[in-house]
């Protein structure tokens, strides 16, 4: 198994895949290899693997695993496998209201933790972008944050929210580390730390919804759309390659539905 996973990692590195992509692919393939022990590595085993995990896992997770496994078959085992497209559940995330975001911030006393929440929501950043953000990535003169080599190995710029500009400048003055948000022991905060910060703040704020880093990004995009921001601008801010990815927020937003007048109200 180790030899096959090493070959997989090499193939991914040759394509200059990100650390996150390599980690995800290796995890998915390792899970499949454990299942296939004593069964063989072929299409029939993969089909049984899919059926087995579809009983207990989210179809989106199984589809993600299959994408990695097909890459493994094609580039490591040099075998092409055709599989039917797994139909995914079209579940929309339950975003936070502006009031809930405010409540979340107000129930976070630690300055560093509060800034993390404000940046996740206020700039629509991914949690991986937050933890990798360096002090010199912030240009206060231009009011911009330079997000470097984000998902898809792409750079982009996002606006520093005016409401936290001064707070960020003062925060940077009191430290001298490499990263904007560093742990007390030095070095950048971890993704799991940010997740725990949000979970604890949501508990104190008595928010019943499941609060996680990407939910703040979803909320940022949805609220921008409801304010009338052009979808193409939101696409650029989020760093989406395809406008179709951004269009999900037209489904999440309920503003257009709320503004409809029911024919019943004409009575």
Is 156 found in the same domain as 48? Answer: no
**For position 12, which CATH number holds?**
1.10.150
Note the pLDDT of residue 82: 84
- Spatial CA neighbour of 76 closest among 100, 122, 116, 41: 41
Note the pLDDT of residue 126: 93
Is 122 found in the same domain as 68? Answer: no
Among 49, 121, 179, 249, the active-site one is 249
Q: Is 249 a catalytic residue?
A: yes
Q: Is 15 a catalytic residue?
A: no
Among 70, 151, 159, 236, the active-site one is 151
Note the pLDDT of residue 208: 92
pTM, entire model: 0.74
Residue 83 in domain: no
Considering its fold, how many domains does the chain have in total? Answer: 2
Cβ partners under 8 Å of residue 213, min gap 6:
120, 126, 127, 130, 191, 194, 195, 198
Is 233 found in the same domain as 111? Answer: yes
Among 188, 217, 218, 223, the active-site one is 217
Is 151 found in the same domain as 24? Answer: no
Q: Is 39 a catalytic residue?
A: no
Three-state DSSP class for residue 87: coil
Q: Is 35 a catalytic residue?
A: no
Is 118 found in the same domain as 249? Answer: yes
Is 241 found in the same domain as 149? Answer: yes
Residue 107 in domain: yes
pLDDT along the chain (267 residues), means of 10: 88 88 92 90 89 84 89 91 78 86 94 94 93 92 88 84 92 85 86 94 94 94 90 91 85 69 67
Q: Is 151 a catalytic residue?
A: yes
Is 28 found in the same domain as 68? Answer: yes
Note the pLDDT of residue 255: 63
Note the pLDDT of residue 177: 82
**For position 103, which CATH number holds?**
1.10.443.10
Among 113, 114, 118, 126, the active-site one is 126
Residue 81 in domain: no
Among 52, 74, 178, 214, the active-site one is 214
Note the pLDDT of residue 264: 57
Is 125 found in the same domain as 69? Answer: no
Note the pLDDT of residue 228: 87
Is 133 found in the same domain as 173? Answer: yes
Note the pLDDT of residue 175: 74
Q: What is the DSSP letter of 163?
A: G
CA–CA distance from 18 to each of 25, 26, 115, 151 (Å)? 11, 12, 26, 8
Q: Is 210 a catalytic residue?
A: no
Tell me the β-bridge partners of 154. 150
Q: Domain containing 36: what range?
A: 2-75
Q: Which of 43, 75, 107 is the last residue of a domain?
A: 75
Q: What b/e string do you get for 135-158 counting C-beta neighbours within 10 Å, with b at 16 or more?
A: bebbeeeeeebebeebbeeeebeb
- Spatial CA neighbour of 18 closest among 7, 5, 30, 9: 9
């Amino acid at each position: 198994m180790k030899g096959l996973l090493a070959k997989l990692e090499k193939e991914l590195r040759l394509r200059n895949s990100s650390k996150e992509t390599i980690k995800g692919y290796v995890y998915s393939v390792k899970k499949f290899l454990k299942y296939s022990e004593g069964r063989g590595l072929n299409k029939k085993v993969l089909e049984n693997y899919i059926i087995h995990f579809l009983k207990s896992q989210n179809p989106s997770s199984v589809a993600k695993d299959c994408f990695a496994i097909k890459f493994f078959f094609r580039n490591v085992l040099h075998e092409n496998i055709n599989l039917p497209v797994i139909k995914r559940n079209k579940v929309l995330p339950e975003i936070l209201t502006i009031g809930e975001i405010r409540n979340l911030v107000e129930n976070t006393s630690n300055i560093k933790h509060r800034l993390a929440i404000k940046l996740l929501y206020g700039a629509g950043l991914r949690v991986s972008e937050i933890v990798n953000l360096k002090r010199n990535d912030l240009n206060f003169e231009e009011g911009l944050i330079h997000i470097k080599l984000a998902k898809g190995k792409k750079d982009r710029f996002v606006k520093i929210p005016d409401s936290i500009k001064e707070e960020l400048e003062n925060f940077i003055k009191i430290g001298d580390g490499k990263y904007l948000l560093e742990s007390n022991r030095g070095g950048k905060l971890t993704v799991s730390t940010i997740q725990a910060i949000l979970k604890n703040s949501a508990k104190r704020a008595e928010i019943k919804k499941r609060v996680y880093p990407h939910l703040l990004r979803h909320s940022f995009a949805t609220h921008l759309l409801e304010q009338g921001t052009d979808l193409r601008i939101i696409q650029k801010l989020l760093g989406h390659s395809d406008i179709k990815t951004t269009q999900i927020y037209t489904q999440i937003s309920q503003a257009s539905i709320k503004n409809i007048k029911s024919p019943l109200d004409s009575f």
